[in-house]
Amino acid sequence: MREITKSSTIIARRLPILRVCAKIVGMNWGVIGHEWAVQLLSEQIAQKRLRHAYLITGPRGVGRRTLALRLTQALNCLAPPEPGQPCRACRACLQIERMQYPDLLVVQAEQEGGTLKVDQVREMQRSLSLHPYEGRYRVALLLRFEEAHPSAMNALLKTLEEPASQVVLLLTAESAERLLPTIVSRCETLRLRPLPLEQVSRGLQEEWGAPEDQAHLLAHISGGRPGLALQLHLEPERLQQRQAWLTDLLRLLTFSRKERFDYIEPLTKERSVLRSALNVWLSFWRDILIKTCGAVAPITNLDYQQEIEQLAARLDRSAALGVVSAVENALSLVDQNVNPRLVGEVLTLDLPKI
């Protein structure tokens, strides 16, 4: 519930411009990019060829949840301008946007990196056995389903095998390979990929009113993931936190061993916070690796280009690759529930001394 409440607060900031955006973006459901997926789903609704279950895959922040919510709106909109197109302004559409619609069930682990439990799936199944309260369909949105316990995945199979006519299941996951093959085989899979940076930048400017310079920066930071770019645009405190972590990383390179351990201890108290910081650091070291390799690929952290070039000039490719591998290994260990303080301390020892 805390996750849903937080999301509702964020969406509330967007409501004054949602009605305007609905008119501007029209046929693409207000989604930045992924036109092929929107067209496929809207045609299936219009032609009454709707599937009972969809699996939306792709990296976090690519727009998986947004696409799922737009599909839910298209299914239950009170005043669709045409079949398969949500108005995004009626009561049902706005409630779905906030994830507070009575016929929308949101199921997810309590926090990122947590575990979606079998009891949550069983409770969802009991709710799905009821007729829709208001809408034409009851929709179950299972977010980050790769975090589901194997028993939870197995429990879902019965619903996938015997779907009710007025029930649609929407699963999101980073990749189909992280789910049971029997789950994947019973869903229509939509694989979302990062978009060209220019398309993300243009979408932020045209659809969300972001200034050109900021939109350009956010497109790079997000790596072409429109959902992440939009989140950073709507929540500037996330950008501020990112900048704080990058500033801390640069300071860490000058610290002694004791100073590094003193810094990392409070950061490891919450696993989700540590994971977020490590992902920011990983993007920074990948940028350094790009520079040391002389690659022409765009860097992520444009606002730290000077610092990246300075460090790349002092490190060789082997050293940069070593740090990238160390941060990736730390993230993997955190996901495996290894002691986060131990993971953090070992990582600080792997960072070069500048």
User: Could you please report the per-residue DSSP string of 317-341?
Assistant: HHHHHHHHHHHHHHHHHHHTT--HH
* Tokens standing for residue 285: 């070291």
Q: What is the pLDDT of residue 13?
A: 45
Pairwise pLDDT comparison (325 vs 354), residue with the higher score: 325
How much is the average pLDDT of 262-272? 94
Report the relative pairing of strands 167-173 and 188-191 from DSSP bridges: unpaired
pLDDT digits (tens, 9 = 90+) for 45-76: 999 999 999 999 999 999 999 999 999 999 99
- Cβ 116 vs Cβ 148: under 8 Å: yes
With b for 16 or more beta-carbon neighbours within 10 A and e for fewer, the 32-60 pattern comes to: bbbeebbeebbebbeeeebebbbbbbbbe
Residue 354 is predicted with a pLDDT of: 86
Mean pLDDT highest for which of 14-23, 108-117, 203-212, 257-266?
Answer: 257-266
Assess contact for 29 and 74: CB atoms under 8 A: yes
Percent of the chain scoring above 90 in pLDDT? 85
DSSP conformation class of 304: G
Q: Which pLDDT belongs to residue 20?
A: 36
- Structural fold of domain 238-350: Zinc Finger, Delta Prime; domain 3 (1.20.272)
In our burial notation (b when 16+ CB lie closer than 10 A, e otherwise), range 327-346 reads: beebbebbeeeeebbebbbe
pLDDT in tens, 1-46: 444 444 444 444 444 333 333 333 347 898 999 999 999 999 999 9
- State the average pLDDT over residues 210-220: 95
User: What local confidence, expressed as pLDDT, does residue 337 receive?
Assistant: 84
Beta strands in 1-154 (DSSP E): 53-57, 104-107, 138-142
Nearest to 167 by CA among 137, 127, 188: 137
Q: What is the pLDDT of residue 207?
A: 84
pLDDT value of residue 202: 95
Domain layout of the chain by residue ranges:
2-191, 200-234, 238-350
Residue 196 and residue 63: Cα distance in Å, rounded? 14
Cα–Cα distances in angstroms (integers) from residue 10 to residues 7, 72, 98, 99, 108, in the given order = 5, 19, 9, 11, 18
Residue 99 is predicted with a pLDDT of 95
In angstroms, the Cα distances linking 8 to 12, 169, 201 are 6, 21, 25
Residue 203: φ, ψ to 5°: -65, -40
Which two three-digit tokens encode residue 318?
Answer: 């082997």
Is the domain spanning 2-191 CATH 3.40.50.300? The answer is yes
Overall average pLDDT of the 190-212 stretch? 94
Q: Which is more confident, 181 or 8?
A: 181
Reported as a pLDDT band with limits 50, 70 and 90, residue 112 is confident
Taking all residues of the chain, what is their mean pLDDT, rounded to a whole number? Answer: 91
Q: Is the pTM value of this prediction over 0.85?
A: no
**pLDDT digits 0-9 by tens, 227-264:** 999 999 999 999 999 999 999 999 999 999 999 999 99
